[in-house]
Structure 1
Amino acid sequence: MNNSGENRAAEMQDMAMDIGKVKAARVAMINGPVVRAEGVRGFKVREMVMVGDKKLLGEVISIDSDKAIIQVYEETEGLKAGEEVVPTGKALSLKLGPGIIGNIFDGIQRPLQKIEKISGNFISEGIGLISIDPDALWQVELKVSEGDELVPGSIYATVQESSLIEHRLMVPPEMSGKVVKVAENGKYRLEDEIVSLEDNNGVTRSLRLYQEWPVREPRPMQRRMSIEQPLITGQRVLDVFFPLGKGGTAALPGGFGTGKTMTQHQLAKWSDADIIVYIGCGERGNEMTEVLEDFPKLMDPKSGRPLMERTVLIANTSNMPVAAREASIYTGITMAEYYRDMGYHVAIMADSTSRWAEALREISGRLEEMPAEEGYPAYLPSRLAQFYERAGYVKTLSGSEGSVTVIGAVSPPGGDFSEPVTENTKRFVNAFLALDRNLAYARHYPAINYLSSYSGYIKMLSNWFKDNVAEDIVSLRAKMLELLHEEKKLMEIVELVGEDVLPDSQRLVIEISRIIKNGFLQQNAMHKEDTYVPLQKQYLMLRTINLLYEKASKAVKDGIPISQAKDDMLFAQIVKMKYNIPNDNLEGFEQLRQDIESYYEELYRRYEE
């Protein structure tokens, strides 16, 4: 290990020895990432420890008398029985401050770009708990004066972390008091003291440019608020058919090749969240490499700045230590809660929770716990619940509003949605966006199955849609979904006996459903007009399809044959409206309306003659 790594290990050793005269324990058993230590008097459950001569990072997960089970977040190759285990006196925590946005971390907040400079392409053992850069200088603007009374969540300074994100330094939840000392505006490092607080007992405490928070403990807020705003994504199948709420939860299950990662990329790029936290949890190395290479090149369409200026990436690939994979989603959601507390709306993309659950299963097996369904531990449902329940739209301690929206991809083996991770995830999310292999193979993207997906946010968001889009948009959505469900039943008949046996009214349902699927639900991420669609255009598209259906349906009921009621050129024109009508000029919909009206007026004139 190089000098930099040795210095970090020495610093952690000093920190460990400062916590008191707790004697170091000894390694007694090693089973992959699971280590048993003996002589652990004074250790605590969930305490972070340093294992062995290389000071590997670990966490105590159970204690029995003077024996403890520890999960190690680094490779244990070369670790020997009898080596020391040293406590640190604190839980696995994150350093929360400027330098998070735009960074790429591993599962326990170690910056991968910095690690590459220290140890090359692989994380060397014992590199220590390095985090955001302590030597970086940040321009700080103080927001308080001497004599001010500060409470938990009060903003005492701001830092322009990127051109898009103002970092608001907040009083930690456990601190309050009167300001007795304030630094001047200027450039400071993370460890510099910029404000001193004196509490009611006369104890003075320092406020710096960061705070620490244990990853497994939800950050406090004043109260949860009801979800009344949608997360606008620009993806028609989501915004209109299966909307997501800001502060809500969604599952994105799908087998291999169904487009989970691509869908999450679209959501990360186009959703109206202020900050994106992308967790690559146990995915293949080549997939994560693509993410890490592509994200820094993506431009934020709203600001014209690089997307990384409002993004945090957490990469824990399938060949990284399995215990760190288990911690990665807690790392991501803790960061999200931190920015939520500043008053931002944050969206988390977890890809994928199935790999996280597999890490739980592996560790559980090494602990020799009694397995439940398909070998997963019996506490899988509660762990999933703990993760998804940290989402929410809240009033923060500072009095502002913020939200964390969680979108978790699920990778069921063989696309089997009845397996335990998918089934249990379904219990804790309000939107279920089922990706369909047949749609993906037919090049229908996003490959979200419009028959088996659902959103529980329709009722919560209906007033918002009526007030901000159109009064009838919710009823239009219901009507289109009803047509799709009817078409599904009719296609079962068609597959048996052919379409010719159906009455014209039912054949029309099939034709209109094709327009809904190809002209509305299918979206081209590579087309400049179709990759993102504003809500008003989405509504006008639906209204145009509905007008076509009503006019054609009336013609069929009045005895005009389907061959005349359906004009191929007109129907094709409706399908192509998503490309032909620009997002910033919607006047083309009025022309489409006139074309539909005039065609059926002319059709009736011909038949009346």
Structure 2
Amino acid sequence: MKTAYVKIVDGPVVKATGMKDFQVREMVVVGEKKLIGEVISIDGDLGTIQVYEETEGLKRDEEIQSTGAPLSVKLGPGMVSNIFDGIQRPLKSIQDKHGNFMPEGIGLISLDQEKLWPVTFTVKKGDFVQEGQIFGTVPETDSMTHRLLIPMGVSGTIEEMVEEGSYNIEEVLLRVKDENDKVHEVKMAQEWPVRVPRPVKHRKATREILLTGQRVLDTFFPIAKGGTCAVPGGFGTGKTMTQHQIAKYCDADLIIYIGCGERGNEMTEVLEDFPNLVDPYTKQSLMNRTILIANTSNMPVAAREASIYTGVTMAEYFRDQGYDVALMADSTSRWAEALREISGRLEEMPAEEGYPAYLPSRVAGFYERAGSAETFSGKDGSVTLIGAVSPAGGDFSEPVTENTKRFVNVFLALDKNLAYARHYPAIQWMTSYSQYIADLKNYYELALDGDLVGLRNKCMDILHQEAKLNEIVLLVGEEVLPDDQRLLLAIARVLKVGFLQQNAFNKIDTFVPLEKQYNMLKTIDHLYEAGKKALSQKIPIRQIKNEDLFGKIINMKYNIENDDEEAFVHLSNEIDNFYEDLIKDNRG
């Protein structure tokens, strides 16, 4: 076994001698406490190790031993509904054994190796199997069936296999002989290095929306399954709340939520709330299709950096089983701060605001692991990455936000003025964008009987015109504007309050199906066109902007059930009748 020795301890960074036989990214155990670390640089006989546990008390000349493998996660049954730290150690199991404080040197424990799982096989003895193929299933939770995969690099004929029954994750289920007569043992669990993306058979274009039930997302700034999304915003603008809503209501098969360096009280709220949330699709606990990775701001900074890779590797594994996975990272700014701190301790040349020069490539490398794919299992799966960004003071020009913007296709800019006005989600429609709208046009046309994209573009134009008119209104007041512009301002207000603003505490409004979103937008557009027609008949704008009628349109999000299409027909008729009567009265 390769052995090195501690020379200098600088926080999470350890300098060591005797490292010439080690490899970069190799996993090691450090000192008498067997602390977990990872080699990050080697220069001749000298090496640098980032340690994922508290290094206080570590002394000079303590031994460093190699594990012979890179930092990896164990992938198998027992992941779903579990809560891990940044390097996949199960927090609930550790609490049961050691109390509320995690002891040092407990090792890289991960999945329960003793629990028995009932296995149903989809192959038989003598079958030829290939890497990535599904060879069996395990009912992991009431909502998730775990599909067991042949490990990558293993192909051949099944020489031996056990009978169907209950086994733990370390028992050998299959023995596969390859073309070179080498026999591979296949278990339920397999390991994969976290910094290496899992391969796929074929990458596919994003053609399907990640439905969230949030109108501002599904209609105005859609996220595609297999897409990338950034949610930047200053303190208190609702980044975590937005991600919680997406996590609860999106139609992904599995949710992975990474609390990456967030405050302890925020992560505690997630850990307490998620097990009590009811999945709107299965009516069971949301945790039955959720994996939580808890890494708070007071944990070792190196583990914060690793937590992102731990989560995305888990996501890729379930994608390979044919599932659609949505990963929430809250927040990537804390991850970048970990990179900055480690870089500083390594005495690397800093770039803008002290961040390392390789920050853009690390951000790109993370978001590039998103995508839709045909997997080696023969199924289609996807990984959607949604990362919150926490720019200091809400300054979007800082390096993390700017570099993230380069590599994501959806940018949901949260605005503090909207948040302080209690407009949630506080997504600023003037600065946000989605590059998936053209790709999803066919999806909308198949899902809806109408042109939602064209209607959405028309409404966006109204909002842009309103922004320009508001500059004039601030100077001279609304009364000096022509009537058609005053009508546009009124419709823009209906769009903002009645459509873009959504109430997470209202049972009808918290989740809105795409069909209702389209009907709401059609009704607002119908109001606008009817108002313009009345204007052409010389009807005064004060009569067109009827407070009761406009109030009904704004409140339709609360008053019309999600599946009540007849109510929208009735509301459109009411609009027509009101303006027809108005025109008749003015003619009389």
Shared fold (TM-score, shorter chain, > 0.5):
yes
TM-score band, normalised by shorter chain: over 0.9
- Quote the residue 1:527 is aligned against: 506
C-alpha separation in 2, matches of 1:149 and 1:98: 24
Q: For 1:92-151, what per-residue CA distance to the aligned partner results, in whole angstroms no more than 9, with x for missing partners? A: 000000000000000000001111123322221111100010011101111211110000
Alignment partner, residue 126 of structure 1: 105
Asked if 1:351 is matched to 2:330, the reply is yes
Report whether the alignment pairs 1:320 with 2:299. Answer: yes
CA distance in 1, matches of 2:348, 2:537: 70
CA displacement, residues 462-505 of structure 1 (integer Å, 9 cap, x when unaligned) = 11101211332111000101001111111111111111111111
Q: CA deviation at 1:387?
A: 0.3
In the alignment, the residues of structure 1 paired with residue 322 and residue 142 of structure 2 have an alpha-carbon distance, to the nearest angstrom, of 17
Q: Does 1:257 align with 2:236?
A: yes
Residues in 2 aligned to 1:441 and 1:587: alpha-carbon distance in whole angstroms: 36
Task: Give distance in 1, aligned partners of 2:286 and 2:566.
Answer: 31
Q: Which residue of 2 aligns with 1:57?
A: 36
1:394/1:401 contact within 8 Å kept: yes
CA-to-aligned-CA distance 1:528-579 (integer Å, 9 cap, x gap)? 0000000000000000000000010121133211011121111000000000
Q: Does 1:583 align with 2:562?
A: yes
2:70 maps to 1:91:
yes
SS of residue paired to 2:385: strand
* Contact in 2 for aligned 1:256/1:415 (Cα 8 Å): yes
AA matched with 1:219: R
Tell me the distance in 1 between the aligned counterparts of 2:72 and 2:138. Answer: 22
What is the match of residue 504 of structure 1? Answer: 483
Aligned partner of 1:514: which letter? R
Partner of 2:260: 281
Structure 1 position 592 matched with structure 2 position 571: yes
Q: CA deviation at 1:341?
A: 0.2
Query: SS of the counterpart of 1:445?
Result: coil
Q: Residues of 2 paired with 1:548 and 1:310: CA distance? A: 42
Amino acid at match of 1:442: A
Give the counterpart of 2:94 among 115, 122, 125.
115
AA aligned to 2:455 is L
> Is it true that 1:448 corresponds to 2:427 in the alignment?
yes
Q: Distance in 1 between matches of 2:446 and 2:165?
A: 45
Give yes or no for the alignment of 1:397 onto 2:376.
yes
Instruction: Tell me whether 1:174 sits opposite 2:162 in the alignment.
Output: no
Q: SS of 1:482's equivalent? A: helix
Following the alignment from structure 1 to structure 2, what is the Cα–Cα distance between the partners of residues 154 and 219? 14
Q: Kindly provide the amino acid, as one letter, of the partner of residue 483 in structure 1.
A: I
Report what 1:473 is aligned to: 452
1:241 maps to 220
* Partner Cα distance (1:297, 1:189) in 2: 29
Q: Which moved more, 1:412-421 or 1:141-150?
A: 141-150
The whole-number CA distance in structure 1 between the counterparts of 2:56 and 2:76 is: 33
Tell whether the 8 Å contact from 2:16 to 2:47 is kept in structure 1 after alignment.
yes
Once the two structures are superposed, the pairs formed by residues 300-319 of structure 1 within 5 Å of their partners are: 300-319=279-298
**Mapping 1:96-245, distance limit 5 Å:** 96-245=75-224
Shift, 1:430, TM fit: 0.1
1:36 matched to 2:26? The reply is no
Find the counterpart in structure 1 of residue 6 from structure 2: 27
Code of the residue aligned with 2:174 in structure 1: it is: V
Please report how far the alpha carbon of residue 58 of structure 1 lies from its aligned counterpart in structure 2 after TM superposition.
0.3
Q: What residue number does 1:486 align with? A: 465
Segments of 5+ residues of structure 2 without an aligned counterpart are: none
Partners in 2 of 1:337 and 1:259 — Cα distance?
Answer: 28
Q: Which runs of 4+ in 1 moved over 3 A?
A: none
Contact 1:253 1:422 in 2 (8 A): yes
Deviation for aligned residue 1:223: 1.1
Corresponding residue to 2:52 among 50, 56, 73: 73
Could you tell me how far apart the structure 1 residues matched to 2:248 and 2:264 are? 22
Offset of residue 174 of structure 1: 1.1
Q: Over residues 274-306 of structure 1, what are the superposed CA-to-partner deviations in whole Å (9 max), with x where a residue is unaligned?
A: 000000000000000000000010010111110
Q: For the residues of structure 1 that align with 2:153 and 2:192, how far apart are their CA atoms?
A: 11
Shift of 1:604: 1.1
Contact 1:274 1:310 in 2 (8 A): yes
Provide the rounded CA distance (Å) in 2 between the counterparts of 1:41 and 1:494: 71
Partners in 1 of 2:45 and 2:383 — Cα distance? 40
Q: Is the 8 A contact 2:516 2:563 kept in 1?
A: no
* Counterpart position of 2:413: 434
Q: Equivalent residue for 1:415?
A: 394
Deviation at 1:190, TM superposition (A): 0.8
- Cα distance between partner residues in 2 of 1:319 and 1:184: 47
* Preserved CA contact (<8 Å) 2:24 2:42: yes
Number of matched pairs:
588
- Percent identity reads 62
User: Is the 1:144–1:182 contact (alpha carbons within 8 Å) kept by the matching residues of 2?
Assistant: no
Q: Distance in 2 between matches of 1:431 and 1:149?
A: 43
Kept in 2: contact 1:59–1:72 (CA 8 A): yes
Cα distance in structure 2, aligned partners of 1:519 and 1:409: 26
Partner of 1:11 in structure 2? none
Preserved CA contact (<8 Å) 1:142 1:183: no
**Structure 1: how far apart are the matches of 2:298 and 2:361?**
26
Q: Specify the SS of the correspondent of 2:440.
A: helix
Superposed CA deviations along residues 129-188 of structure 1, whole A, max 9, x for unmatched, are 000100111011112111100001111111000011110110111111100011111110
What TM-score do you get using the length of structure 1 for normalisation?
A: 0.96
Letter in 2 for 1:493: I
C-alpha separation between the residues in 2 aligned to 1:371 and 1:40?
Answer: 26
Q: Measure, in 1, the Cα distance between the counterparts of 2:233 and 2:209.
A: 23
The residue that corresponds to 2:364 in the other structure is 385
For the residues of structure 2 that align with 1:373 and 1:41, how far apart are their CA atoms? 33
Contact kept in structure 2, 1:344 and 1:403, CA below 8 Å: yes
Give the letter for the 2:7 counterpart. A
Once the two structures are superposed, residues 41-67 of structure 1 have per-residue CA deviations (whole angstroms, 9 ceiling, x without a partner) of 321110000001101000001111111
Give the corresponding residue for 1:545.
Answer: 524
Structure 1 counterpart of 2:548, from 569, 572, 576: 569
Letter in 2 for 1:208: K
Residues 505 and 557, structure 1, Cα contact 8 Å, conserved in 2: no
Q: Corresponding residue for 1:335?
A: 314
CA distance in 1, matches of 2:26, 2:101: 26
Q: Measure the CA separation in 1 of the matches of 2:48 and 2:255.
A: 35
Query: What is the TM-score with the length of structure 2 in the denominator?
Result: 0.99
Deviates more, 1:558-567 or 1:388-397: 558-567
Q: Distance in 2 between matches of 1:167 and 1:525?
A: 32
Tell whether the 8 Å contact from 2:20 to 2:42 is kept in structure 1 after alignment: no
For 1:15-40, what per-residue CA distance to the aligned partner results, in whole angstroms no more than 9, with x for missing partners?
A: xxxxxx43x11001111001111012
Q: Match of 1:281, as an amino acid?
A: C
The 2-side partners of 1:313 and 1:529 are apart by 28
